[in-house]
Amino acid sequence: MKSKSCYVCGQENLSRNEIGLNKKLINRKIKLFYCINCLADYLEIEVEFLLENIEEFKEQGCILF
């Protein structure tokens, strides 16, 4: 699979967690991805909150993470 880069700042090689968050919080079919910092900006929430979300989604057994 081709690596994804951030649509806003251009950061390359987004992690599986970052891509999972984009799909989970925006849309599973999105083609443009945000890195965790730009995603927090876009959603107007704290990066720490997103990191907590990742852990929660993992605990729930979400297939995206």
Q: Using N-to-C axis directions, what is the helix angle for 36-43 and 47-59, rounded to 10°?
A: 100
Q: How far apart are CB 65 and Zn ion at their closest, in Å? A: 19
Number of residues that bind Zn ion (CB under 5 A): 6
Which one among 14, 19, 38, 54 touches Zn ion, defined by CB under 5 A? 38
- 17 token code pair: 């967690």
Q: How many angstroms separate the CA atoms of 12 and 49, rounded?
A: 22
- 33 token code pair: 């991805």
Which one among 19, 21, 35, 50 touches Zn ion, defined by CB under 5 A? 35
51 binds Zn ion (CB under 5 A): no
Binding positions for Zn ion, rule: CB under 5 A: 6, 8-9, 11, 35, 38
